[in-house]
C-alpha cells in the first residue's frame, strides 16, 4: 500500500535503513547530529573501526546466512530439481491465509533483484523470477524465512516442515486453551470475590495467578499474530494481523497497568481466551481455504485419474499423480496417456487434439514420444515415463496459461487496496475511540479498543474475491473448461454482447460434400490436388474424391490463395479449385447450393468450369439450446463468419439470428469485437486475432496449446454447451463476489460501529472475527456457478472430437 | 506510582537498542578516550550529566503540562487535556517512522540550525575528554534531537506535575543505562539480531506508552491505591 522506498541505504551513523538521499544518509536528525559531532572532533575513525568489527552489519548482502539456505545458490543443486538460477519454485510452509499470499507477492517491491513472486496457495509454492547477479537465492530464502515462511526446494522436506508446523500449531492451540482455561478459573475466583467480598491478599494472589497463566498465552501463544504484523510492517504494508496484535498487546498491557495500580479491571482471562479463539479460528480458516483451493487443481481435470504401472512384473492400478519418471505404464485402447514418455512396446494411434488441435490420430510405435493428455484411440502400448504432472507438455501449457501477468483481477487489486486502507482506518479509529472512551468512561476504554481492533480484521474483505474466483476456476476445470486466469471471469460476467464464429462453433465443423455436378472422370486429379491442402474444405473435397476415384495425377506449381482457393498444374494443365467469388461460374448449381446454406466449390480446368460441388456443415445439435441460454442471460448475439454471405444468412435464418454477416476476414472479426467489447467464441487457430482482441475469448476447438495462447478460456470437451456453462457460471461467480464483498463490508461497518459504541466485548469480537472469514469461505463454496456433472477425465476420443482446422487462412471469404 | 515508574523503566529498556545505535558511539568515545581520569569516573560524569539533563527536562515538561491543564480548565473547563493531547502526540510520534513517505521527506532535509549547533557543542565537549568535558557531553545529550528522548518528555508533560515529570525522566534514564553501559556487548550480540527490528520495537513500546499515558496510567494519580507510593499527589 505504501510506496516502496527507492535506492535507500544504511544510515551512515546507526546502520538502520535510511531514506534515499545524498551520501551520507541518515535515518533521523539525532544520528545526523552525532555523526557531525564525531566528525567535527576527528573521531570519524569510529566508523572505520566499527566496520572492521562488523558490529552493525549492513543490512542485506553481508548478513550471515544462518538457515542452511546456502545450498540454494548451488546451480548444480538447482539443476537437479529442474530449475536454473533466475527462476525457481520454492515450497513454503506457514501460509495460512490470503494475507500471506498478498504479502509474499510484494517481494519484488522490497527486495532488489526479485523480478516476480507468485504464490500458489493450494500447492504452497512460491515461484520466483530474480536476477542472480543482483540477489542470491539464499538471500531471498532468508528474507522469506524471516517473514515467517520456511522455504525449501524439495517437496519432501517441505512436507516434513508442514507436518511439523501443523503439529506445532495444534500444540499452540492446545496449550493456549489449557492456559486460558486456568486464567478463567482465576478470574472466576475474582468475580466471586467481587460479589461476596474477598481479602485484599487473596485478590492480589488471584490477579497474580491470572497474570502468570496469561503471560505465556500473550507472548508465545499470540506469536503468529505478532509475526504477521511485523512481517507486514517490514514489507511496508498494514497486515491484517496488525490490529489483532495491537488489540492483544493493548488488552494485556492495560490489565498489567491496572494490576500494578491495584485498581481497575483486569482482563487477563479475556485476553487469554481471545488469543485461544483467534488461533482456533485461524486454524479452521486455513483448513477451509485449503479445501476450497484443492479444487483448483486444473491438471487433475485434464489427466486420467489412474494409470497401470508395472510393479514386480504385474500391472498395478495406481493414482496417476503417484507416477514418477522411470516408471513403466500401460496405455490401453481408448485410454488417456497419463504422462509424457517414450513407447517401449506395442503401438497405437494417439489423438493429440487437446494439445495441438490436430484431429487426425497419429500412428505411434516403439521409440515414439507421446504426451500426457493425449488419447490412445487404437492399439495398446507400454510407456517409459519421462515427465509427470506439471513437468509434462500439457503441464507447461497449463502453467503458461496460468502464468498470465494479468492474473490479479482488477477487482482483487481493489479489494486488496481497500483492505490496506481499512487497517489504517481501524488503527486511527481505535486510537480515537480509546481517547474518547478514556474521557467518558476510563474503565471501558480498553474493552472498546480491544474489541474494535479484533472485530474489524479485514480478512473477510481480503478473502471475498480471490476465494470466489479461485473456487469458480476450479469448478470450471471440473466442467472441462480451462481458464487462463481467474481474472478472466470478470469480463465474462460483465460483457453484454457475444460474437460467435460459424464453422466449427455453431456447426460441427465436419464438412461433407452433399451435391456435385462434377463428372466421375475428374475425381482422380481433383483428389490429387485437394490432398495437397490442409484447408477443411479442401480436406472434405479430397476425402470425397478419394472414396470415388483411386487413381492419382502429378501436381506441380501448387499455390494456395488464402480465403479463395488453390491453383496448380495437374498433368500439365492449369487447374483451379475455389470459391464462387474467385472463379466465376454460371452454373445453376452455385445458386442452388447458396440457397440451401451450402458452400459452393467451383472446379475449373484449362479455363473451363468442369463442375461445382456443394459443401455442407451440420449445425450442432446443441446450438439452438445454447443460443436460447445465451439469450436468457440477456446477451445480444452476433454471428460473424468468413463463409459466403448467403451461406451465413441461411444458417442465421435457421437459428433465428438477426445479426449475422459473412465474408469476414479474421481481421474484420478482431476489429468488430474490440470495438464493441464483446466476448468472442471461436476456433483457437482461425479466430486467434479476434479471440485476442475480445474482452474475453472462448475457444471451443483448436487444441489447448494454440487456444490458451490467445483465448481466456478453452472448452476441452468441444461441446458448445460449455460456452453457456461458462457464461452462466461467470455471472453466478460475479454475484458471489459482490455478495462476499457486500457481506464483509457490512459486517465490518456494523461490528466496528458496535465495538466503538461499546456494545461488543473483546470475547464476542474474538468469536465474530473468524466467523466472518468462514462465512465468506462458505459462501464461495456453496454459491456460484459451474455446478452440474463434473466433466473430469471424459475427454473426447478421436471420433467425437470436433473437427479442427490447421490452416491460418479463413474459410473462403467473399467480400 | 511505583508500578508506573517500573513500567517506564521496562519500556525504556525495551526500546533502548535505539540508544545503543545512536549514542553508543558517544558512550564508546567517552569510555575509551585517552583523557585524564579513570574510565569509570568519565562514564560517571557522562551518565550523571545525562541524568541531570533528563530530570531537568522532565521537570520542565511536567510544568508545561500543568500549565496546559490549568489554561484548559480556565478557558473551557476541560480536565486532563495535557494527558490526552500528549498521548495522542506520542501515538503520532510512535507511528511516524512506520510511514515511509514521511520519513523519506524528513530525512533528506539538510541539518537544521538547532541540531547543527548541538553538534558543534557536542564536538567541542568531546574534544575535551576530561571529567567536566564528559559531564557536559552528558548534559548536552538532553538537547539531542532524539525522537525517543522527546517521546518520554511528552509522557512527562502528560503528568502535568513537575515532580512526577522529573521522576518519569529519571525512570527513563535508568532504562537507558544498561544498553549504553553495555554498548560493546549489545553491538556484538544483540545488535545483529534485533537491530533490524529496533525501529519497530521502539514504535511498539511508544504505542504502549501512548496508550498508558492516555489511559491515565502515567501521572500523579497513577497507582493511587498503592500502599508504598509516596503521597505526593493531590486529587
Q: What is the DSSP string of A290-340?
A: HHHHGGG-HHHHHS-SEEEEEETTEEEEEEGGG--TT-EEEE-TT-B--SE
The pLDDT of A344-357, averaged and rounded, is 77
Q: What is the pLDDT of residue A463?
A: 67
B window 55-94, beta carbon within 8 A of A:
80, 84, 87-88, 91
The cell numbers describing A237, all together, are 504494508
Q: What is the pLDDT of residue A589?
A: 80
Q: ipTM of the predicted structure?
A: 0.76
The total of other beta-carbon atoms located within 10 Å of residue B92's CB is 13
Contact A283, A201 (CB under 8 A): no
Nearest to A261 among B25, B116, B226 (CB): B226
The pLDDT of A452-474, averaged and rounded, is 73
Q: What is the pLDDT of residue A405?
A: 35
A60 → chain B, closest CA residue? B196
Q: Do A18 and B25 touch (CB under 8 A)?
A: no
| Optimal mutation site among A39, A55, A215, A218, interface B, most CBs of chain B within 10 A | A55
Whether pLDDT at A479 is above 80: no
Whether pLDDT at B7 is above 90: no
User: Does residue B235 form part of some domain?
Assistant: no
A242 → chain B, closest CA residue? B204
Give the pLDDT band (50/70/90) at residue A377: confident
Q: Which residues, 6+ apart, have CB-to-CB distance to B86 below 8 Å?
A: B65, B154, B155, B157, B158, B213
Contact B89, A429 (CB under 8 A): no
Q: Do A14 and B28 touch (CB under 8 A)?
A: no
Three-state secondary structure call for residue A561 = strand
Q: What percent of chain A has pLDDT over 70?
A: 76
What is the least distance, in Å, from the CA of B187 to any CA of chain A?
A: 5
User: Does residue B228 form part of some domain?
Assistant: no
Q: What is the pLDDT of residue B228?
A: 39
Q: Is B219 on the interface with A (CB under 8 A)?
A: no
Q: What is the pLDDT of residue B140?
A: 85
Number of domains chain B contains: 1
Range of the domain at B149: 2-106+116-214
User: Does residue B98 form part of some domain?
Assistant: yes
Residues of A within 8 A of B116 (CB-CB) are: 33, 36
User: Does residue B111 form part of some domain?
Assistant: no
Q: What is the pLDDT of residue A3?
A: 40
B window 187-206, beta carbon within 8 A of A:
187-188, 191-192, 195-200, 204
Whether pLDDT at B56 is above 90: yes
The pLDDT of A188-193, averaged and rounded, is 74
Q: Of the spans A453-462, A748-757, B199-208, which averages the highest pLDDT?
A: A748-757
More confident residue, A311 or A72: A311
Please choose, from the candidates A479, A492, A503, the residue with its C-alpha nearest in 3D space to the C-alpha of residue A697. Answer: A492
Q: What is the mean pLDDT of chain A?
A: 75
Q: Do B111 and A32 touch (CB under 8 A)?
A: yes
Q: Of the spans A97-106, B84-93, B109-118, which averages the highest pLDDT?
A: B84-93
Q: Of the spans A583-592, A719-728, B76-85, which averages the highest pLDDT?
A: A719-728
What residues pair up with A619 in beta bridges, in sequence order? A507
User: Does residue B102 form part of some domain?
Assistant: yes
The cell numbers describing A245, all together, are 496484535
Q: Do B123 and A41 touch (CB under 8 A)?
A: yes
Q: Do A38 and B108 touch (CB under 8 A)?
A: no
A249 → chain B, closest CA residue? B208
Element (H, E) at A402: helix A393-402
| Residue keyed to cell 468442369 | A610
**How many CB contacts within 8 angstroms connect chain A with chain B?**
187
Comparing A43-47, A470-474, A487-491, the range with the smallest average pLDDT is A43-47
More confident residue, A278 or A432: A432
Q: What is the pLDDT of residue B55?
A: 93
Whether pLDDT at B54 is above 90: yes
Q: What is the pLDDT of residue A179?
A: 92
Q: Of the spans A48-52, A239-243, A407-411, which averages the highest pLDDT?
A: A239-243
Q: What is the pLDDT of residue A627?
A: 92
Q: For residue range B129-179, list pLDDT tens digits in order.
A: 667 778 888 888 888 777 788 888 888 888 888 888 899 899 999 988 887
The cell numbers describing B152, all together, are 518520554
Helix intervals (H) in A665-720: 666-676, 688-693, 704-710
A323: left (phi over 0), alpha (psi -120 to 50) or beta: beta
N-term to C-term CA, chain A: 53
Please give the Cα distance from A70 to B47 (Å, whole number). 44
User: Does residue B169 form part of some domain?
Assistant: yes
Whether pLDDT at B189 is above 70: no
Q: Of the spans A176-185, A656-665, B223-232, which averages the highest pLDDT?
A: A176-185
Give the pLDDT band (50/70/90) at residue A291: low
Give the pLDDT band (50/70/90) at residue B58: very high
Whether pLDDT at A70 is above 50: yes
Q: Of the spans A397-401, A698-702, A753-757, which averages the highest pLDDT?
A: A753-757
User: Does residue B27 form part of some domain?
Assistant: yes
Give the pLDDT band (50/70/90) at residue A457: low
Please give the Cα distance from A283 to A304 (Å, whole number). 33
- Taking 3-state DSSP, the helix, strand and coil percentages for chain A, each rounded to the nearest 5, stand at 50, 20, 30
Whether pLDDT at A61 is above 60: no
Nearest to A263 among B187, B200, B225 (CB): B225
Whether pLDDT at A102 is above 50: yes
The pLDDT of A471-475, averaged and rounded, is 77
Please give the Cα distance from A48 to B186 (Å, whole number). 18
More confident residue, A99 or A471: A471
The pLDDT of A480-497, averaged and rounded, is 80
Give the pLDDT band (50/70/90) at residue A360: low
Q: Is B211 on the interface with A (CB under 8 A)?
A: yes
Q: Which residues, 6+ apart, have CB-to-CB distance to A38 below 8 Å?
A: A44, A46, A47, B25, B26, B29, B123, B126
Q: Do B188 and A234 touch (CB under 8 A)?
A: no
β-strands A713-715, A696-701: how paired?
parallel
Q: Do B211 and A250 touch (CB under 8 A)?
A: yes
Q: For residue range A491-533, list pLDDT tens digits in order.
A: 888 888 999 988 778 887 777 888 888 887 778 788 888 877 7
B window 160-179, beta carbon within 8 A of A:
none
Give the pLDDT band (50/70/90) at residue A296: very low
Whether pLDDT at A376 is above 80: yes
β-strands A608-619, A369-370: how paired?
unpaired
More confident residue, B187 or A86: A86
| Optimal mutation site among A29, A208, A444, interface B, most CBs of chain B within 10 A | A29
More confident residue, B33 or A631: A631
Q: For residue range A517-573, list pLDDT tens digits in order.
A: 888 777 878 888 887 776 777 878 888 877 554 556 777 888 877 667 888 888 888
User: Does residue B193 form part of some domain?
Assistant: yes
Q: What is the pLDDT of residue A294?
A: 40
Residues of A within 8 A of B98 (CB-CB) are: 233
Q: What is the pLDDT of residue A569?
A: 86
| Optimal mutation site among A56, A257, A267, interface B, most CBs of chain B within 10 A | A257
Q: What percent of chain B has pLDDT over 90?
A: 7
Please give the Cα distance from A55 to A733 (Å, whole number). 56
Comparing A53-67, A224-238, A359-373, the range with the smallest average pLDDT is A53-67
What is the least distance, in Å, from the CA of A60 to any CA of chain B?
A: 11
Q: Is B99 on the interface with A (CB under 8 A)?
A: yes
Give the pLDDT band (50/70/90) at residue A143: confident
Q: Do B222 and A261 touch (CB under 8 A)?
A: yes
Nearest to B216 among A20, A260, A442 (CB): A442
Q: For residue range A701-720, list pLDDT tens digits in order.
A: 766 666 777 788 888 777 88
Q: What is the pLDDT of residue B183?
A: 65
Please give the Cα distance from A130 to A115 (Å, whole number). 5
Amino acid at each position: 500500500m505504501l510506496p516502496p522506498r527507492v535506492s535507500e541505504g544504511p544510515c551512515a551513523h546507526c546502520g538502520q535503513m535510511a531514506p534515499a538521499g545524498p551520501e551520507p544518509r541518515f535515518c533521523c536528525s539525532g544520528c545526523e547530529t552525532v555523526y557531525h559531532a564525531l566528525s567535527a572532533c576527528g573521531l570519524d575513525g569510529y566508523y572505520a573501526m566499527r566496520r572492521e568489527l562488523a558490529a552493525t552489519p549492513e543490512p542485506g548482502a553481508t548478513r550471515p546466512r544462518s538457515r542452511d539456505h546456502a545450498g540454494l545458490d548451488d546451480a548444480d543443486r538447482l539443476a537437479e530439481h529442474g530449475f536454473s538460477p533466475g527462476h525457481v519454485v520454492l515450497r513454503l510452509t506457514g501460509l495460512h491465509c490470503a494475507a500471506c499470499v498478498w504479502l509474499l507477492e510484494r517481494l519484488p517491491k522490497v527486495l532488489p533483484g526479485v523480478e516476480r513472486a507468485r504464490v500458489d496457495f493450494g500447492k504452497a509454492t512460491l515461484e520466483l523470477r530474480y536476477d542472480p547477479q543482483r540477489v542470491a537465492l539464499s538471500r531471498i530464502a532468508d528474507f522469506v524465512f524471516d517473514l515467517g515462511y520456511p522455504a525449501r526446494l524439495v517437496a519432501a522436506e517441505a512436507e516434513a516442515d508442514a507436518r511439523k508446523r501443523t503439529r506445532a500449531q495444534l500444540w499452540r492451540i492446545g496449550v493456549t486453551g489449557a492456559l486460558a482455561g486456568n486464567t478463567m478459573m482465576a478470574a472466576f475466583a475474582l468475580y466471586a470475590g467481587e460479589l461476596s467480598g474477598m481479602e485484599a491478599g487473596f485478590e492480589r494472589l488471584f490477579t497474580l495467578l491470572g497474570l502468570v497463566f496469561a503471560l505465556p498465552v500473550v507472548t508465545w501463544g499470540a506469536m503468529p499474530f505478532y509475526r504477521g504484523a511485523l512481517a507486514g510492517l517490514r514489507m511496508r504494508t498494514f497486515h491484517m494481523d496488525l490490529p489483532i496484535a495491537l488489540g492483544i498487546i493493548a488488552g494485556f498491557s492495560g490489565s498489567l497497568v491496572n494490576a500494578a495500580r491495584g485498581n481497575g479491571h483486569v482482563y487477563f482471562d479475556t485476553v487469554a481466551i481471545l488469543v485461544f479463539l483467534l488461533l482456533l479460528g485461524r486454524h479452521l480458516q486455513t483448513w477451509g481455504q485449503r479445501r476450497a483451493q484443492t479444487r483448483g487443481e486444473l491438471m487433475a481435470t485434464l489427466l486420467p485419474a489412474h494409470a497401470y504401472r508395472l510393479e514386480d512384473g504385474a500391472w498395478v492400478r495406481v493414482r496417476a499423480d503417484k507416477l514418477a519418471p522411470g516408471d513403466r505404464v500401460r496405455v490401453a485402447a481408448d485410454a488417456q496417456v497419463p504422462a509424457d514418455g517414450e513407447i517401449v512396446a506395442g503401438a497405437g494411434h494417439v489423438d493429440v487434439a487437446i494439445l495441438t488441435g490436430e484431429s487426425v490420430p497419429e500412428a505411434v510405435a516403439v521409440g515414439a514420444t507421446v504426451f500426457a493428455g493425449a488419447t490412445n484411440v487404437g492399439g495398446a502400448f507400454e510407456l517409459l515415463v519421462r515427465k509427470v504432472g506439471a513437468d509434462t507438455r500439457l503441464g507447461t501449457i497449463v502453467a503458461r496459461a496460468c502464468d498470465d501477468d494479468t492474473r490479479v483481477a482488477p477487482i482483487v487489486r481493489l479489494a486488496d487496496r481497500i483492505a490496506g486502507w481499512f487497517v489504517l482506518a481501524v488503527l486511527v479509529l481505535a486510537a480515537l475511540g480509546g481517547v474518547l472512551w478514556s474521557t467518558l468512561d476510563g474503565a471501558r476504554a480498553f474493552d472498546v479498543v480491544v474489541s474494535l481492533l479484533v472485530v474489524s480484521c479485514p480478512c473477510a474483505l481480503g478473502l471475498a474475491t480471490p476465494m470466489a474466483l479461485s473456487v469458480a476456476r476450479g469448478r470450471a476445470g471440473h466442467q472441462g473448461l480451462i481458464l487462463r486466469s481467474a481474472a478472466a471471469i470478470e469480463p465474462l460476467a460483465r460483457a453484454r454482447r457475444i460474437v460467435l464464429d460459424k464453422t466449427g462453433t455453431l456447426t460441427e465443423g465436419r464438412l461433407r460434400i452433399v451435391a456435385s455436378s462434377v463428372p466421375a472422370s475428374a475425381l482422380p486429379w481433383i483428389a490429387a490436388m485437394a490432398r495437397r491442402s490442409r484447408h477443411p474444405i479442401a480436406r472434405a473435397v479430397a476425402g470425397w474424391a478419394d472414396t470415388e476415384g483411386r487413381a492419382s495425377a502429378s501436381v506441380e506449381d501448387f499455390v494456395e490463395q488464402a480465403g479463395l482457393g488453390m491453383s496448380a498444374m495437374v498433368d500439365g494443365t492449369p487447374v483451379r479449385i475455389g470459391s464462387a467469388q474467385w472463379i466465376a461460374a454460371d452454373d445453376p448449381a452455385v445458386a442452388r447450393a447458396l440457397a440451401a446454406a451450402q458452400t459452393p466449390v467451383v472446379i475449373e480446368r484449362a479455363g473451363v468450369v468442369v463442375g461445382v460441388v456443394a459443401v455442407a456443415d451440420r449445425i450442432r445439435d446443441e446450438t439452438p439450446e445454447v443460443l436460447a441460454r445465451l439469450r436468457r442471460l440477456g446477451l445480444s448475439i452476433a454471428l460473424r463468419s468468413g463463409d459466403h454471405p448467403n451461406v451465413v444468412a441461411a444458417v442465421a435464418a435457421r437459428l433465428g439470428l438477426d445479426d449475422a454477416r459473412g465474408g469476414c476476414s479474421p481481421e474484420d472479426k478482431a476489429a468488430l469485437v474490440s470495438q464493441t467489447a464483446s466476448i468472442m467464441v471461436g476456433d483457437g487457430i482461425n479466430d486467434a486475432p479476434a479471440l485476442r482482441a475480445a474482452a474475453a475469448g472462448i475457444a471451443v476447438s483448436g487444441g489447448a496449446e494454440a487456444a490458451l495462447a490467445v483465448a481466456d478460456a478453452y472448452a476441452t470437451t468441444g461441446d458448445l454447451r460449455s460456452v453457456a456453462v461458462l457464461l452462466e457460471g461467470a455471472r453466478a461467480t460475479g454475484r458471489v463476489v459482490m455478495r462476499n464483498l457486500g457481506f464483509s463490508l457490512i459486517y465490518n461497518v456494523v461490528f466496528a460501529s458496535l465495538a466503538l459504541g461499546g456494545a461488543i466485548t473483546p470475547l464476542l469480537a474474538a468469536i465474530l472475527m473468524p466467523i466472518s472469514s468462514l462465512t465468506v469461505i462458505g459462501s464461495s463454496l456453496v454459491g456460484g456457478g459451474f455446478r452440474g456433472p463434473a466433466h473430469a477425465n471424459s475427454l473426447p476420443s478421436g471420433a467425437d472430437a470436433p473437427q479442427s482446422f490447421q490452416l491460418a487462412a479463413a474459410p473462403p471469404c467473399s467480400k | 506510582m511505583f508500578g508506573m515508574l517500573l513500567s517506564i523503566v521496562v519500556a525504556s529498556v525495551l526500546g533502548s537498542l535505539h540508544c545503543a545505535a545512536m549514542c553508543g558511539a558517544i558512550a564508546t568515545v567517552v569510555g575509551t578516550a585517552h583523557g585524564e581520569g579513570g574510565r569509570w569516573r568519565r562514564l560517571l560524569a557522562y551518565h550523571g550529566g545525562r541524568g541531570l539533563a533528563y530530570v531537568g527536562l522532565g521537570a520542565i515538561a511536567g510544568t508545561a503540562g500543568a500549565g496546559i491543564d490549568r489554561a484548559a480548565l480556565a478557558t473551557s473547563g476541560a480536565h486532563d487535556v495535557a494527558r490526552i493531547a500528549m498521548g495522542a502526540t506520542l501515538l503520532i510520534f510512535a507511528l511516524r517512522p512506520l510511514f515511509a513517505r514521511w520519513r523519506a521527506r524528513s530525512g533528506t532535509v539538510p541539518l537544521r540550525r538547532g541540531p547543527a549547533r548541538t553538534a558543534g557543542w557536542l564536538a567541542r565537549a568531546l574534544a575535551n575528554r576530561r571529567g567536566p568535558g564528559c559531564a557536559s557531553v552528558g548534559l548536552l545529550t538532553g538537547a539531542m534531537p532524539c525522537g525517543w528522548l522527546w517521546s518520554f518528555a511528552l509522557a512527562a508533560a502528560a503528568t502535568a506535575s513537575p515532580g512526577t515529570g522529573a521522576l518519569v525522566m529519571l525512570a527513563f534514564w535508568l532504562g537507558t543505562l544498561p544498553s549504553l553501559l553495555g554498548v560493546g556487548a549489545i553491538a556484538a550480540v544483540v545488535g545483529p539480531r534485533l537491530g533490524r527490528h529496533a525501529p519497530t520495537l521502539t514504535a511498539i513500546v511508544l504505542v504502549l506508552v501512548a496508550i498508558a499515558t492516555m489511559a491515565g496510567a502515567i501521572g500523579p494519580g497513577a497507582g493511587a491505591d498503592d500502599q508504598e507510593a509516596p503521597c505526593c499527589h493531590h486529587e
